[in-house]
Structure 1
Amino acid sequence: MLGPMLYIYRRYWDEAKLLLAGVAFIVLCSATAGIAAPYVFSRLVDTLRADSWGETIIWAFVGYGLLFGLSQALSNMVNYMAMMSAENLNFIAGTAFFERLLKKTINFFIDYNPAEIQQAKSRGQNAVYTLVQLGLIVLIPGIIQITLTLLVLGASINLEIVVIVFVYGAAFIAFTFFANRWTRPYLDAAIKADQANSKFVGNSINAMETLRYFGGDQWVAGRFAEQAREVRDSWASFATRRIFYSLVFGAMLAAQIGITYFVLLPRYRAGELTIGDVVLFDSLLLQLNRPFQTIGSSIDDVLRSYSRFIPFAKMWGAPEEPDVAPHPDFRLAAGSIVFEHVGYAYRDKPAVSDVSFTARRGRLNFLTGETGSGKTTLFKIALKSLEPREGRVLIDGVPLSDIARADWYSVIGVVPQEIMLLNDTITSNIILGRPLDEARLRSAVERASIAKFIDGLPEKFDTRIGERGLKLSGGERQRVAIARALYADPQILFLDEASSALDERTEAEIMGEIRALADEMTILAITHRKTVIAPGDVVVELTPEGVSERIAA
């Protein structure tokens, strides 16, 4: 739990120490000015007499006004500097979490769906952000202000007043904390019910026509009213309790002021205190109510932030894919892939067992078998998404586990079954964030047999292909995906049911184009359509009885 939080805060300190030092200095100046302003005012009150009126006293009050304005300005500066600093922390937490996600095992993405991951990320970021915001805006300024106030009261009046104010402050903070704990469930319930109602309304509107066919519109209205009533009742419960607690807060403040004046007034009558001392006490006490209340509220916020951070920390600490150091000049010689007695199980349920075969250049290598036979599992093992539980995979005689992930991905190309295309240009969809090399781009589209199509477009490579590539035909989308895989000039090409969504004619054209690449690179393809297999192709078939390897006739 503390590991990821310490890592994030350590990076935050390294990157923002000067800003944090500036915030700390402004906080100290703000608190000092906030205490100095009422102190100066109280001393001016003591000097204000009818026979002492003059230019000096006027300038003194002007100076007091400037000091008071400075304290307010510094207080606002602290808020915005803390916000800027905390946003930097938000950035660090989000990017660090995403960097960790990229290293997670495939099982991590089986255990957690994208919505869970996004929610954990958002709540974790919010937790570390909230803790810093509370520290910079609430806790540190509040503690400094309370400490300086007690010191001034002790020096100007007496220690009895300090004790009374301290006891009142402790009780005020404790009661604020428990009041928030007692009322928070009603606030949370109101927000949760409101969100659920909004989701329900959104879904209902989308299905309103169907609902009317079955007379469900009245049912929708009833459900909406029921959930809206829950929202109203939760807010009413929250507000009712806060009204009661406000009365208690008022009673506590009244009791504290009454007790304090009971102690102060006899001393004023005896001439031990001045009007200015009374004014000073009153001003400082009113100022202290805010830090007392915010500190009490922030204690509950700290506890809630800790609990919100738990899913973030759990995902942060989930197992990562093992990896080795990359090689500076990694390339393959023959590009052979050898599976030796490979086995894998998902949660102790066997997926593949004792699989052995070899894929080489010069021929298309097809991996076939019924649904559930383990084709996808073997592909994921070859792509280093899974580690085999048994056996090993050799690449040119070197165990795949000894090859760095970055090195491996630099020499392979992948055409997945579901092609991910961006609502962007053809160029952007092919290079996909990699450095643009015009010669490599041209070579890739020519080898994917899509260059003629692109050259015929008015905007050529700058043509935007629409959301998910909907402005392209199925075959054109497939060729863009192949060009993307070939852009890095791979030595091994993996195809995962790459033509399964195409008609037979387009499928035959694309597979013929891919077959022409077999002498340049090792090609391993998953397929369940026997029509794509041509004489001379290598067929590795997975059956319940075992693995068979043959040359197609």
Structure 2
Amino acid sequence: MKLYSRYFNRYKIPFLIAICCVTLEAVCDLLGPTLMSHIINNGIESGSLDKVYYWGFRMLLVTLIGAVFAVTRNNLASFVSQRMGADLRTDLFTKIMSFSEESVDKIESGSLITRMTNDTSQIVQFVNGIMRIFLKAPITCIGSIILASMLNLRLSIIIYSVVAVVAILITISMKLSYQRFYQLQKAMDRINTRVQEYLLGIRLVKAFGTYDKETREFEEANQNLMQKGVSSLLVITVISPLLSLFVGFGTVAVIYIGSRLFTLNMANAGDITAFTIYMAQILSSLLMITNVFNMFVRTKASTIRIREIFECDEDFKKSGMKEELSGDIVFHNVTFAYPGGSGVPAVKNLSFTVKKGESLAIIGPTGSGKSTIAWLLLRFYDTGEGNILINGINLKNLGVDEIRNEIAIVPQKPTLFSGTVKENIIWGNKNATAEEISLAAEQAEAEFITQMPEGFESSLGSGGVNFSGGQKQRISIARGLLKKSSVLLLDDATSALDAITEARVLRNLKERKEDQTVIIITQRCGTAMTADKVLVMENGIGVGFGTHAELIKSCQVYRDIYETQIESSKEA
């Protein structure tokens, strides 16, 4: 409950009012059978119609008051539970947005979606149930037992026996249900992940014609979810009828033994009638308590899953320092291995320096550690050994906001969002003018935007599905340029562009007036040649650093890339 105490504290007053209403409503319900016994004993048996009216009016008044309390607590329960659910979803989203990269890798996105939706809804239902049912059911059950005992102690022994058996059944139900409901939520994670992966890769599925494989894997996940659902509900479907059966036996026993006591003048008709009603109330309360405990078991599983999110590591916090971050970038003996990976360093003992305003190209084979340099520079991860300095300041002494505000990244696979082209371009600079937006698009060679009927107000589908790969990359480049950061990081950002368009984009970058450091991660030697300096990577090691002319003479790896890409294209 520690996880939710802060939410209850926010709505303490309506929660306490709801508790009062539930308690008073339960009291009104408990008075009903007792008033009924007075109607029978004092009115019907004595033939006094005035007594029937007297006790009947009071019974009607108590019922009306109870209804008012019920309506009030229902409204308060709905308000508190829904507001708590909204606050919890907001806090979860805020936490996920602050995840460290290690935390992002730890929990799949499909599972995060399930936890934010299904698990949160389960908790909302439980909170609503607590205020509406959980508090009322024990009061009604205990009150019915006490009042029934006051009416006839002999008959109350039957109630004690029934309650003892029901308590045992509820305990068994909770122990059997918890693990099943936990596995049910995990099965739901799996099916959400399958659907998400299919939707993200729908074009690839169509291109490779793997409909049968995807359908088969989804069907397996779907069947697993169904089996887990049946297994988790099986306990409830067995226990609930048993509860009704034992309470039914108790009611029959009350009527039978009550009739015997009535013939011996040891009980009157009103008491037996009230006792029967109390047994019905006890049955109803026990069933409600069973449902609440089953709901508690599911909520416990959901709570553990949500707590896992809150316990995940967050991104590195702000340092509070106000420093100029537009100076030289220095990697000094940097070694780094991905957490939870093979343990083999992605970069090893890497050292290089990029002067302020210079352009650096990082080139090398796939898996050589090029993108890792970008992730370290953005402080998605911290170095294992060595240091990264910007303007002489260690990145570890800076918060991520300070670092990332000064770095604009253009990834190889551009991420675009639903909305207009303009909304996507100004993502990093909300205050940009129309002229600045137009200039950024022009420098990114995104002239196709102005050729569209609605221009910058043209709509993008989810992920930019209505644009080609090259168009999406150019929109992404324009977004990076518009940010006007101290460092522009292009992570193979021109891979979908033809050679001529790429050359124009790179030329535009050089001709800009901004005193900006540009880092280009690429696999094309032709792209690397345009940079002031080139860093050559192989197996996580920097095997060459210098100008294109210097590396042609001194670096065999770079020379091999050059001969493979440039010389072979000339021969062709």
The TM tier, using the shorter chain, reads 0.7 to 0.9
| Structure 1 position 284 matched with structure 2 position 300 | no
| Aligned 1:242-391 pairs, distance under 5 A | 248-249=242-243, 252-261=246-255, 264=258, 268=262, 273-327=267-321, 330=322, 332=324, 334-346=326-338, 347-391=342-386
| Structure 1 position 98 matched with structure 2 position 93 | yes
* Alignment match, 1:208: none
d(CA) in 2 for partners of 1:386 and 1:513? 32
* Alignment match, 2:26: 31
* Alignment match, 1:552: 548
Which of 521, 532, 557 is 1:537 aligned to?
A: 532
Check 1:200–1:448 CA distance in 2 against 1; reply closer, same or farther (3 A cut): closer
* Alignment match, 1:405: 400
| Structure 1 position 118 matched with structure 2 position 110 | no
State the 1:429 CA deviation.
1.0
| Aligned 1:187-198 pairs, distance under 5 A | none
Check conservation: 2:144, 2:281, Cα contact below 8 A. no
Q: Deviations over 1:326-372 (max 9, x none)?
A: 34xx4636432111111111342111111111122343211111111
Q: Deviations over 1:218-260 (max 9, x none)?
A: 9999999999999999999999998986775565335423544
* Alignment match, 2:200: none
* Alignment match, 1:483: 478
State the 1:466 CA deviation.
3.2
Check 1:425–1:322 CA distance in 2 against 1; reply closer, same or farther (3 A cut): closer
Which of 103, 111, 114 is 1:108 aligned to?
A: 103
Q: Deviations over 1:154-195 (max 9, x none)?
A: 44x144444442332231232355468779999999999999
Check conservation: 2:81, 2:127, Cα contact below 8 A. yes
Check conservation: 1:89, 1:128, Cα contact below 8 A. no
State the 1:531 CA deviation.
1.3
Check conservation: 1:335, 1:492, Cα contact below 8 A. no
Letter in structure 1 aligned against 2:337: A
Check 1:427–1:326 CA distance in 2 against 1; reply closer, same or farther (3 A cut): farther
> Is the partner of 1:358 in helix, strand or coil?
strand
Letter in structure 2 aligned against 1:550: G
| Structure 1 position 148 matched with structure 2 position 143 | yes
State the 1:296 CA deviation.
2.9
State the 1:375 CA deviation.
0.7
Letter in structure 1 aligned against 2:546: R
d(CA) in 1 for partners of 2:185 and 2:395? 51
| Structure 1 position 506 matched with structure 2 position 501 | yes
> Is the partner of 1:432 in helix, strand or coil?
helix
* Alignment match, 2:557: none
Check 1:299–1:472 CA distance in 2 against 1; reply closer, same or farther (3 A cut): closer
Check conservation: 2:358, 2:516, Cα contact below 8 A. no
d(CA) in 2 for partners of 1:49 and 1:365? 100
Letter in structure 2 aligned against 1:501: A
Check 1:132–1:536 CA distance in 2 against 1; reply closer, same or farther (3 A cut): closer
Letter in structure 2 aligned against 1:540: L
State the 1:145 CA deviation.
1.0
> Is the partner of 1:350 in helix, strand or coil?
coil
Which of 34, 38, 45 is 1:43 aligned to?
A: 38
> Is the partner of 2:460 in helix, strand or coil?
coil
State the 1:114 CA deviation.
1.6
Which segment is superposed worse, 264-273 or 316-325?
Answer: 264-273
TM-score (norm 1): 0.80
Check conservation: 1:339, 1:394, Cα contact below 8 A. yes
* Alignment match, 2:512: 517
d(CA) in 1 for partners of 2:77 and 2:348? 57
Which segment is superposed worse, 256-265 or 305-314?
Answer: 256-265
Check conservation: 2:39, 2:56, Cα contact below 8 A. yes
d(CA) in 2 for partners of 1:221 and 1:103? 35
d(CA) in 1 for partners of 2:117 and 2:216? 34
Check 1:111–1:190 CA distance in 2 against 1; reply closer, same or farther (3 A cut): closer
Identity across matched positions, percent: 21
d(CA) in 2 for partners of 1:487 and 1:223? 43
d(CA) in 2 for partners of 1:225 and 1:354? 48
State the 1:123 CA deviation.
5.5
Letter in structure 2 aligned against 1:10: S
Check 1:316–1:341 CA distance in 2 against 1; reply closer, same or farther (3 A cut): same
Check conservation: 2:37, 2:273, Cα contact below 8 A. yes
* Alignment match, 1:425: 420
> Is the partner of 2:306 in helix, strand or coil?
helix
TM-score (norm 2): 0.78
Check conservation: 2:406, 2:485, Cα contact below 8 A. yes
Check 1:324–1:251 CA distance in 2 against 1; reply closer, same or farther (3 A cut): closer
State the 1:109 CA deviation.
2.8
Which segment is superposed worse, 71-80 or 11-20?
Answer: 71-80
State the 1:127 CA deviation.
5.2
Letter in structure 2 aligned against 1:495: L
d(CA) in 1 for partners of 2:101 and 2:189? 32
| Structure 1 position 466 matched with structure 2 position 466 | no
Q: Deviations over 1:465-514 (max 9, x none)?
A: 33433444544433321232233321111110010111111111111122
State the 1:141 CA deviation.
1.0
Which segment is superposed worse, 489-498 or 434-443?
Answer: 434-443
Letter in structure 2 aligned against 1:340: H
Which segment is superposed worse, 119-128 or 475-484?
Answer: 119-128
d(CA) in 2 for partners of 1:542 and 1:233? 50
| Aligned 1:214-229 pairs, distance under 5 A | none
Check conservation: 1:414, 1:493, Cα contact below 8 A. yes
> Is the partner of 1:372 in helix, strand or coil?
coil
d(CA) in 1 for partners of 2:238 and 2:325? 79
State the 1:50 CA deviation.
8.7
Give the paired residue count: 533
Letter in structure 2 aligned against 1:275: A
Check conservation: 2:420, 2:460, Cα contact below 8 A. yes
> Is the partner of 2:456 in helix, strand or coil?
helix
d(CA) in 2 for partners of 1:104 and 1:491? 25
Check conservation: 2:23, 2:135, Cα contact below 8 A. no
Q: Deviations over 1:20-50 (max 9, x none)?
A: 1232122112211211222222222233249
Which segment is superposed worse, 340-349 or 470-479?
Answer: 470-479
d(CA) in 2 for partners of 1:198 and 1:403? 37
Letter in structure 2 aligned against 1:278: I
Q: Deviations over 1:254-304 (max 9, x none)?
A: 542354456655665565654322222111111110111222343344334
CA RMSD of aligned residues (A): 4.6
State the 1:74 CA deviation.
4.2
Which segment is superposed worse, 222-231 or 93-102?
Answer: 222-231
d(CA) in 1 for partners of 2:17 and 2:174? 32
Which segment is superposed worse, 219-228 or 129-138?
Answer: 219-228
Check 1:239–1:499 CA distance in 2 against 1; reply closer, same or farther (3 A cut): closer
State the 1:526 CA deviation.
0.3
Check 1:440–1:285 CA distance in 2 against 1; reply closer, same or farther (3 A cut): farther
Check conservation: 2:329, 2:354, Cα contact below 8 A. yes
d(CA) in 2 for partners of 1:266 and 1:300? 39
d(CA) in 2 for partners of 1:231 and 1:95? 28
Q: Deviations over 1:499-543 (max 9, x none)?
A: 011111111111112222375211111011111234562111123
| Aligned 1:80-95 pairs, distance under 5 A | 81-95=76-90
Which segment is superposed worse, 483-492 or 231-240?
Answer: 231-240
